[in-house]
Amino acid sequence: MCSYIVEKAKLIGTAKGPNSRWMKVDTANVYSIGASEETLGRALKDFAKRDEVVIATKFGIVRDPADPMKRGFCGRPDYVRSACEASLKRL
């Protein structure tokens, strides 16, 4: 697990900014192997209103479970659906 995941309050303060009425957040299923989306989901649950958030998440990069440093790309429809469903659960 990566050590650069930030505290929830700091994450929200950074994403929202001092003068913003809504927050914009970019994430992906490969950031910290999904932990980024999980942390973001917990932070948003505690600190944000649903109508104040815009989330951009990405997918398509796949890792080899036996060697996480190996990466490939996938855009098959079944993968797209499963990646979106998994991201929604983590978020």
**Residues known to be catalytic:** 31
Beta carbons of 32 and 1 less than 8 angstroms apart: yes
What are residue 73's phi and psi, to 5 degrees?
Answer: -125, 145
3-state class (DSSP) for residue 79: helix
Instruction: Name 45's bridge partners.
Output: none
CB 15 within 8 A of CB 6: no
